[in-house]
Structure 1
Amino acid sequence: MAFADHCWRGLVYDSRNNLQMRGLVVLLISKAAGPSNGAELSFQHDMVSGIYSSQRSLAEITELIHTAFLVHRGIVNIGELKSCDGLLKDMQFGNKIAVLSGDFLLANACTSLAQLQNTKVVELISSAIGDLVQGIYYDNSNLSEENCLTHDIGISTWKEQIFLSHSALLAKSCQAAMELAKHDAEIQDMAFQYGKNMSMSHKLHSDLQPFIKGKSSDSVAFSLNSAPVVLHQEFLGREAWIKQIREAQSKENLMDFTKLQEAIKAGKGVTSAIDLCHYHGNRALEALECFPPSEARSALENMVYAVTRFS
């Protein structure tokens, strides 16, 4: 069991690499749901290993969109560069490549999306792209607080923004997979809820890594807008939180993340983030109860277990 848990943990989360599991989730939830009762017999002939070809295409589209936005996020702000960062021309060239590569992937995704010939699916995935754009806008526009280090937001706002930037694509792709198999609105909603809550748990698990037991010796820079920090600020109060940040800064404005990490771990933010991770994990598992028991459903459950265990 421990080995199996380790394997699922490695599939869903790896601190060194970006693991693209969104397409896999779409395939697994498609297989778990199977064909709908109202599907025509001729339509079911298009199914291979319990998954329709249109659902396989959707899984590829989901990965393409996710990768395109990752590439776009690699664009460097030239205005913030210093002479020691390297040649400006190299950075400008890299930015052009990032823009063109991301646009190419996104264009291919949109072309494949149109070929599915399903208006509702096109609408769902298009809205997910819009959510991603809005989420990235929030990430980039809210950095005017206190030396551009931390947002003045509560956990409810954090969840809204994380849904846009991390959860919407997977949630709506899972829903779209059910639409392609002609499942009813209830099954579509359960698939949406699984994708949403699974990705929220995944993000919370990622945010918690610098703060969980056994990681204290691996003190590294962490986002001051991550879930444990936002919850810590909410409990502590904005003024006291800014005071802690200033106390952890040197005269050269360099951040002592070890000192700040210990202050956050001493508060309630970390345990509250773990509780929130478990909450979303349980919601994801509840959503799977509408699907019949199967290996695909077990795999989806194991993914949730992998991102809600911290020992």
Structure 2
Amino acid sequence: MPYAMIRHLRRSVFFSKQLRKESTMTNLTLEEYDFQPPFTQWSKVIKEAEKIVGYPTSFMNLRWLLSDEFANLALHLRKIVGSNHPIMKTAKSVLYNEHNNLQPWGLIILLLSKAVSSTTSLDSNTVAEQQRMLAELTEMIRTGHYIHRGLLNIPQKERENASESLFANKIAILIGDYLLVTANGMLARLKNQDLSYLISTALRDLSEGEFFGPRDEQNMPLPSKPNRLDVDDFRISCETLPLATKDVLGSPVKEWTLRTLYSGGTLFGRACEGAVYLAGKSVEKQKEAFLFGCHLCLSWQAASDLKKFSVNNNKPYSLVSAPVLFGIDHSPQLFDRLQNIRNINQINFTQLREDILKTDAINHTKLLCTEHADKARNYVELFGNNESIQTIKRLIRS
């Protein structure tokens, strides 16, 4: 192994241990979009799927983690280990993956790519490499955006006494920018204008999502006043136009769906669509791949929301997660506690959780999870019945 790689590995291992040791100090409540099934069998299914695609997806993150640029940024990040800045929690999730924190996006894209690609074509190796780059850059965009969302909004009058937080903000910006620029460079090297257009529409959705709906002073999302008259579902369009926002706020299903799509759902959908496009499939198949990706993300997010409301789980949860939105829709008086909140850390999350569990929110969230899982399964079955598709279906079931 080259000396430079050994040196970077040592840095990453040391930094990962430091993050693990200090992780309990980071207790800020964050808006989290996991897009992964929170089950203990997940790592086993991941390993089996990686054998099929012949490409350990952990190498996707490893490639840029071992770069000189990222290693230098990691050295600066070590200076704020032990602080209460959200970037520490994000870095821990990137560098120290627990068994239920594995990132499945790239693997799903590779499995779908293998399912639709022809092995007899003369340029099959080129297509496979392009699909692999697409899977990798999608993971990088997702991670870079997640890091950027961990910035703290420090009031002007408090900045003189917040040098550590200001420094952490700068590091978060640099790391997020590095990942996003690297991902866009990879996209440019593919030299495919149509694919670049697809991914750029997802980047637009990520950006617009940061300004959607009510927010607190840290730009953390707050639920809207419930509108119990609106019970319609949110229709996911395959068009590349901006997502429809009319009459969405206040409707639990619509608001939760749109927020989830904004926060990465369409990015994964467009990546799946791009993988099928690179394989030379029809426009109809590309749209089916997009809808598959969107519904799979929605199913995983609903499952993650449910886990945070399971028995004896006291982990932080988002105020725009499905159980919260269903809970305040069922009992509008719960919304009164959330009005005029300047910072979500002022909320008694434990009491709010107990009150939400007294409503029918959990049952509605379970139905939401099952509904999107069934739709994802129906769409992926349109791509055949080969080993890759069967594995994707197993991932959906798990």
TM-score, normalised to structure 1's length? 0.80
- The structure 1 residue matched to 2:224, chosen from 141, 151, 164, is 151
Contact 2:42–2:100 (Cα < 8 Å) also in 1: no
Contact 2:43–2:102 (Cα < 8 Å) also in 1: no
Distance 2:221 2:387 in 1: 46
Distance 1:68 1:193 in 2: 24
**1:20 has 2:88 as partner:** no
Letter of the aligned partner of 2:317 in structure 1? F
Letter of the aligned partner of 2:154 in structure 1? I
The corresponding residue for 1:257 is 349
Letter of the aligned partner of 1:268 in structure 2? D
Tell me, what secondary structure is at the counterpart of 1:42? Answer: coil
Using the aligned pairs only, state the percent identity. 30
Tell me: CA distance 1:80–1:234, structure 2 relative to 1, closer, same or farther (3 Å).
Answer: farther
**1:42 has 2:125 as partner:** no
Distance 1:221 1:44 in 2: 46
- The structure 2 residue matched to 1:233, chosen from 325, 328, 340, is 328
Instruction: Report the Cα offset of residue 44 of structure 1.
Output: 2.5
Letter of the aligned partner of 1:7 in structure 2? Q
The corresponding residue for 1:207 is 305
Tell me: CA distance 1:100–1:45, structure 2 relative to 1, closer, same or farther (3 Å).
Answer: closer
Instruction: Report the Cα offset of residue 151 of structure 1.
Output: 3.1
Tell me: CA distance 1:15–1:202, structure 2 relative to 1, closer, same or farther (3 Å).
Answer: farther
Distance 1:60 1:148 in 2: 29
The corresponding residue for 1:309 is none
Tell me: CA distance 1:179–1:158, structure 2 relative to 1, closer, same or farther (3 Å).
Answer: same
Q: Deviations over 1:254-293 (max 9, x none)?
A: 5443332222112111100110110000000000111222
Cα-Cα RMSD: 3.1
Deviates more, 1:104-113 or 1:13-22: 13-22
Tell me, what secondary structure is at the counterpart of 1:19? Answer: coil
Deviates more, 1:52-61 or 1:147-156: 147-156
The corresponding residue for 1:54 is 130
Tell me: CA distance 1:102–1:244, structure 2 relative to 1, closer, same or farther (3 Å).
Answer: closer
Deviates more, 1:272-281 or 1:101-110: 101-110
The corresponding residue for 1:101 is 175
Distance 2:155 2:101 in 1: 27
- The structure 1 residue matched to 2:113, chosen from 30, 34, 45, is 30
Q: Deviations over 1:144-179 (max 9, x none)?
A: 8xx985433322122112111130110000000111
TM-score, normalised to structure 2's length? 0.63
Q: Which segments of 5 or more consecutive residues in structure 1 lack a partner in the other structure? A: 307-311
Tell me: CA distance 1:71–1:45, structure 2 relative to 1, closer, same or farther (3 Å).
Answer: closer
Contact 1:166–1:203 (Cα < 8 Å) also in 2: no
Tell me: CA distance 1:92–1:257, structure 2 relative to 1, closer, same or farther (3 Å).
Answer: closer
Tell me: CA distance 1:232–1:111, structure 2 relative to 1, closer, same or farther (3 Å).
Answer: same
Contact 2:111–2:392 (Cα < 8 Å) also in 1: yes
Contact 1:220–1:257 (Cα < 8 Å) also in 2: no
Tell me, what secondary structure is at the counterpart of 2:191? Answer: coil
Deviates more, 1:15-24 or 1:278-287: 15-24
Tell me: CA distance 1:285–1:149, structure 2 relative to 1, closer, same or farther (3 Å).
Answer: closer
Instruction: Report the Cα offset of residue 143 of structure 1.
Output: 3.5
Distance 1:104 1:262 in 2: 41
Q: Which segments of 5 or more consecutive residues in structure 2 lack a partner in the other structure? A: 1-38, 47-92, 226-249
Instruction: Report the Cα offset of residue 93 of structure 1.
Output: 1.2
Q: Deviations over 1:99-157 (max 9, x none)?
A: 11211211111111111121111000011111111112226x5338xx98543332212
Tell me: CA distance 1:7–1:134, structure 2 relative to 1, closer, same or farther (3 Å).
Answer: same
Distance 1:220 1:19 in 2: 18
**1:242 has 2:335 as partner:** yes
**1:293 has 2:385 as partner:** yes
Distance 2:368 2:328 in 1: 16
Contact 1:65–1:109 (Cα < 8 Å) also in 2: yes
